[in-house]
């Protein structure tokens, strides 16, 4: 018994032949036509030549196929030698080592990748330019970080040992940038393209190329906005894993942009327009996500108003507003954090650094007083901040701090420089039985000279600052540290190559 076909396909309708209603239908399959059901039903008209119609339909099908092929070539040209991949540059061993390092050390602070799906993408890396650029930028980012180890056979020629220096990371960075130019990622961005831009930002931050770093951070935030990550309604449907990673990525960009705005006096583009991640997204990640949420809440008060005042693009704050912001920072983190140790290092250091930034804004606007009842509005407040920071870092392992790279060292440097300035201007009570500000400063010097083996530009800069502001203290410090003299260090800072650390906050 035959069944009635409710609607013929577009080709059968034009040819005026019977259609069996499936996709593709029998007639289109036999005639090698594209079978579609897109046409809006219209009134029947006079019959035309079926041979003429089928010839016309074949021509349209050929044109559609050519157009589709051309669009694919424009998106990712496979034969262009300019954008082709460098054979053997990205080995399976290197990919495995970098992914392992990321999920072991970096993932709690930036939980934006899904490991099983990333491993699946690695399998298909030869068939996707987007995946190749993502993995290459991830490896570059990890290699610029301290601590990644790969087989010696994969080290860039001229390097020694199994610890790959930034030269290998820079080579992979250049590869990702070159190959990416052959893919139209701006017009049709995806989650992977936004993450790639973020990794590129991290690489250039670690290489101390801050104009280029800022460009790629802005690129990441712009692509995120094109994808609508700032709109909560875009998270109500779709794949749950994809939605969770997009939400986390938006908040990671939110935090990174604020830290970078304070460090480099940049404006903001992202705002708190979506909900925070939830702890029930993955039972195995409760601790990591709890720490990540604490990080977001720590930076959330730093909005356009504060950044505008910080960048001196707006005016009009008050003592009460600044004091309230200091209180928010004091209450932002609980006494006992539900986080990993590396997250605790980032959270505790960032908290004291942000308190220092608010104090600096207070003194810039002339709101401090020696007689203020609120200690946060006094000139000696950085001494209290330094005391708290020394206390928390004393309970952290060196590895938990080093994993955050130059970003954490820069924050220690900012707090130490502020303490140095206060010590040079504000008299303090000397009590031989109590810990003094100079003890805190010595602790900061010890930390900065220990982290990364003292191999950062901030140690000689801090020694130079102390030599200028506290000359009586500089000579004993120089003798106590197994380092170069102050003057040689400062000169070396400007003659040496840039630092190879990364995490921007």
Summarize the chain as % helix, strand, coil (round to 5): 65, 0, 35
Q: What is the pLDDT of residues 198-233, one digit of tens each?
A: 999 999 998 889 999 999 999 999 999 999 999 999
**Dist. CA 375–CA 211, nearest whole Å:** 37
User: Could you write out the DSSP letters of every residue in 250-301?
Assistant: HHHHHHHHHHHHHHHT------S-SPPP-GGG-GGGHHHHHHHHHHHHHHTT
103, burial (CB in 10 Å: exposed 0-12, middle 13-18, buried 19+): middle
Question: What pLDDT does 56 receive?
Answer: 66
Q: Output phi, psi for 147, to 5 deg.
A: 110, -15
CB 148 within 8 A of CB 97: yes
Please give the structure tokens belonging to residue 464.
Answer: 């130079």
Q: Where are the beta strands (DSSP E) in 380-465?
A: none
Question: What pLDDT does 492 receive?
Answer: 37
CB 338 within 8 A of CB 290: yes
Tell me which residues of the chain have a pLDDT lower than 70. Answer: 1-5, 40-81, 146-165, 429-433, 474-505
Question: What pLDDT does 499 receive?
Answer: 36
First to last CA, the chain: 72
**Dist. CA 115–CA 290, nearest whole Å:** 19
Question: What pLDDT does 16 receive?
Answer: 82
Question: What pLDDT does 309 receive?
Answer: 96
Give the ranges where 153-285 is alpha helix by DSSP (H).
166-180, 191-206, 210-226, 240-264
Cis bond leading into 24, ω under 30°?
yes
Question: What pLDDT does 167 receive?
Answer: 85
């Amino acid at each position: 018994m035959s069944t009635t076909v409710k609607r013929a396909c577009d080709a059968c309708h034009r040819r005026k032949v019977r259609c069996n209603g499936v996709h593709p239908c029998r007639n289109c399959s036999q005639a090698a036509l594209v079978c579609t059901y897109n046409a809006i039903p219209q009134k029947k008209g006079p019959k035309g030549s079926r041979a003429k119609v089928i010839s016309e339909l074949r021509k349209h099908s050929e044109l559609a196929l050519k157009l589709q092929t051309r669009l694919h070539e424009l998106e990712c040209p496979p034969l262009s030698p300019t954008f082709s991949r460098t054979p053997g540059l990205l080995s399976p061993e290197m990919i495995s080592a970098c992914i392992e390092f990321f999920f072991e050390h970096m993932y709690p602070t930036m939980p934006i990748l899904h490991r099983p799906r990333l491993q699946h993408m690695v399998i298909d890396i030869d068939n996707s330019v987007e995946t190749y650029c993502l993995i290459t930028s991830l490896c570059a980012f990890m290699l610029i970080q301290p601590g990644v180890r790969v087989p010696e056979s994969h080290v860039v020629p001229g390097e020694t040992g199994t610890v790959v220096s930034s030269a290998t990371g820079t080579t992979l960075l250049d590869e990702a940038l070159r190959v990416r130019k052959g893919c139209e990622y701006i017009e049709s961005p995806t989650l992977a393209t936004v993450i790639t831009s973020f990794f590129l930002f991290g690489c250039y931050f670690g290489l101390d190329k801050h104009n280029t770093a800022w460009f790629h951070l802005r690129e990441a935030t712009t692509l995120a906005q094109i994808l609508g990550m700032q709109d909560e309604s875009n998270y109500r449907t779709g794949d749950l894993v994809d939605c969770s990673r997009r939400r986390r990525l938006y908040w990671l960009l939110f935090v990174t942009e604020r830290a970078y705005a304070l460090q480099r006096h940049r404006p903001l583009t992202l705002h708190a327009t979506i909900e925070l991640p939830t702890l029930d997204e993955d039972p195995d990640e409760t601790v990591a996500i709890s720490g990540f949420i604490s990080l977001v809440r720590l930076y959330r008060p730093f909005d356009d108003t504060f950044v505008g005042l910080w960048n001196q693009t707006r005016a009009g704050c008050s003592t009460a507003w600044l004091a309230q912001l200091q209180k928010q920072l004091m209450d932002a983190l609980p006494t006992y954090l539900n986080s990993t140790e590396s997250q605790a290092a980032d959270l505790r250091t960032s908290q004291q650094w942000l308190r220092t930034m608010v104090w600096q804004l207070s003194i810039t606007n002339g709101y401090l007083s020696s007689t203020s009842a609120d200690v946060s509005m006094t000139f000696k407040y950085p001494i209290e901040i330094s005391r708290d920071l020394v206390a928390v870092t004393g309970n952290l392992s060196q590895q938990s701090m080093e994993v955050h790279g130059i970003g954490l060292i820069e924050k220690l440097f900012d707090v130490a420089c502020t303490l140095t300035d206060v010590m040079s201007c504000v008299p303090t009570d000397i009590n031989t039985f109590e810990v003094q500000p100079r003890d805190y400063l010595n602790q900061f010097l010890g930390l900065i000279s220990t982290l990364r083996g003292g191999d950062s530009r901030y140690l000689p800069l801090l020694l130079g600052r102390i030599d200028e502001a506290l000359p009586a203290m500089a000579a004993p410090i120089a003798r106590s540290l197994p380092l170069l003299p102050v003057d040689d260090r400062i000169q070396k800072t400007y003659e040496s190559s840039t630092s190879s650390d990364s995490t921007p906050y």
